[in-house]
Chains A and B, each alone.
Chain A
Amino acid sequence: MTDAIAEVTPDREDLKLAQRRSAAGSRRRRYLAVGAGWVGFILLWWAASALVGSEARLPSPPRVLEEIRGILAEDFWNQFWASIVRVFAGFVAAIVIGTPLGFLMGRSRYWGNFLQAPVVVAGSIPGLTYAVLAFVIFGISFWGPVMAVGLISMPYVAINVAEGVHGVNKGLVDMSRAYGRSERQVFKHVVVPSVLPFIFAGVRLSFSLAWKVGTLTEVFGSSKGIGFQIRRNFQLFNMPAVIAWVLLFIVFMLLLERLVLVRMERRLFRWRQWEHDR
């Protein structure tokens, strides 16, 4: 379409305008389709709930919405905050343990081989294991989910840091040495800035998995948090509340991912962007 326009109007400004217009048109169509997707999803759910004909088995969207409103008015933030603090404390643990392991794996071939199997195994263990283990060790406690999140994210951090260490620009290191910079300076100004984004990438990649396992751990051993609420309502056979909590979980997980993590990622990778722009 734009090609045809380009032939008749060779003027650059016009061409840009036309391109923008057609881009806006296709964007509008995209938004429409995305909206239609949501409407379709909700209608489908509504129809299924009407077909089942029991709010206790498959509640309708308005019933769940009502439930969500109730939860938000009550103590959602309290529960949500409890979950978030644990998940992020778990990330801190994963970074503290995973980064040195990653450095070791990235710098030495021997340690890379030595740690490869443990890291791979740790990455494929079903979440159930971590959740029960955390419960056995800590009982009903704050530290259970922290440990589970830490264990599940640690391999991702380690693998990414190892990758980052491999990727440190060797020319830059050599040059810094040639200009008489000390090892410490090289480490601080060359190695750390290039590895830092990889630490973050590890957290970011494991984010969704870690959040899920953290919640699962709350299902097993916690007296607070989203996972605990889902389990409590499951045991009460309160289907609308289960679905409401699950939806809140999804919404806030996606929001956290989009708003917090994507922004942090941009900040941390800023120096690379700058390199690209030049």
Chain B
Amino acid sequence: MSSSSATLAPPVAGPGRVRQFLVTPIGAQLTAIVVFIILWQLVTVIAPRVPGPVSVAQFLWVEISGGSHGGVVTGEFWEHFAHTLRHFSLGLLIGFVPGLLIGVLIGSSRIAQALLNDTVLVLLTLPAFVWAFLTTMWFGVSWQAPVLTVAFASFPFVTINVAQGVRSITPELKNMSRAFDVPRRRQFRHLTLAAVTGYVFAGLRFAIIIGWNGILLSEWFAGQDGVGFRTRYWFDANRYRGFVGWVIVFIVFIIVLDRLILNRLQRRAFRWRDPVETDADQVKLEQVGG
């Protein structure tokens, strides 16, 4: 980060090692988490209907271990989670492959760009819940609705990112390697692939974030299984701790997948580039808005 950012950092007072640890980046982040949980607990004191962290943790334990929620309702975590994951990955695949192909087309040909760009823009503007509604109206409560919601919602994000990647291949480098008779295979490996991989990853990340929201919505509105369905199940039953528990599950899932796995992979794919530009957040923030 910038050199000017230390100006207001609280001075490390006192000899305690704990104190010193608390001002490190990890210490600060841990403090943030603890403060959040304390605030959450405080809210439950003021508004007793809001489920507190302990009761949500208890709920999640019962749900995951398959225990009894009281009465005949038992925990069904893995069934729903696996169900959603299956549909999610199938939908991603269906959205990603055409997105990749059309992205390459748009990136490499000006005519294709002029022809297809507006259509992709329109698709980009469509909220995911619209796909959830449309696919439900087309296919009813079925496996197609969530799968196609993911596919339709993620497709345009893959396309624009891949197109941008193909466009980012520098013509100078290409001309030079041609002039120096670099074999085609090496050109492809070190020029085309190197330039495009990072963007494909960025596209995949969008596809995953957007698709995850899409599948939750689709299952919420018209599902009989899955994470979205189960979240709604507890919501409709007025059992807010179940609702909050599942919300935490699907948020943690997407953050772990996106931040801890994909972000790292993307950084690796972009590692040859200027470190300032490798910041995946930058890519993300630019893209969602566009």
A contact residues vs B (CB 8 Å cutoff): 30, 33-34, 36-38, 40-41, 57-58, 106-118, 120-121, 124-129, 132, 136, 156, 159-160, 166, 170, 204-209, 212, 215-216, 219, 230-231, 234, 237, 239, 242-243, 246, 249-250, 253-254
Contacts and interface: CB of A to CB of B under 8 A. Distances in A.
A33 to B, nearest CB: 3
B46 interface: no
Contacts of A170: 4
A108 B7 contact: yes
B233 interface: no
Interface string B224-240: 00001000000100001
A208 B289 contact: yes
Interface in B1-34: 1-2, 4-10, 23-25, 28-29, 31-33
Interface in B46-84: none
B1 A239 contact: no
Contacts of B277: none
B250 A109 contact: no
Contacts of B216: 126, 128
* 5 closest residue pairs by CB, A with B: A33-B114, A205-B289, A113-B28, A108-B8, A212-B127
Nearest to B36: A118
Contacts of B179: none
A170 B7 CA distance: 13
Interface of A is mostly: helix
Given A166-B2, A206-B288, A250-B125, A242 B137 contact: yes
Contact of B8 (A30, A107, A126, A205): A107
B121 A254 contact: yes
Nearest to B251: A125
Contact of B288 (A120, A128, A208, A234): A208
A242 B258 contact: no
B272 interface: no
Interface of B: 1-2, 4-10, 23-25, 28-29, 31-33, 36, 110-111, 114-119, 121-122, 124-130, 133-134, 136-138, 209, 212-213, 216-217, 220, 228, 235, 240, 243, 247, 250-251, 254-255, 258-259, 281, 285-286, 288-290
B250 A126 contact: yes
B265 to A, nearest CB: 16
A207 B8 contact: no
Contacts of A219: 129
Among B125, B129, B134, B212, the one with the most A-chain Cβ atoms within 10 Å of its Cβ is: B129
Contact of B4 (A41, A159, A166): A166
Given A114-B28, A239-B137, A37 B209 contact: no
B143 to A, nearest CB: 18
Contact of B10 (A110, A160, A206): A110
A228 to B, nearest CB: 12
A117 B134 contact: no
B9 A108 contact: yes
A108 B5 contact: yes
24 contacts: A37-B114, A37-B119, A107-B8, A108-B6, A108-B7, A109-B6, A109-B9, A114-B28, A116-B32, A126-B213, A126-B250, A126-B254, A127-B213, A128-B220, A132-B235, A132-B243, A205-B286, A206-B288, A207-B289, A212-B127, A219-B129, A242-B137, A250-B122, A250-B126
A87 B133 CA distance: 22
Contacts of A57: 137-138
Contacts of B110: 30
A34 B8 contact: no
A113 B29 CA distance: 6
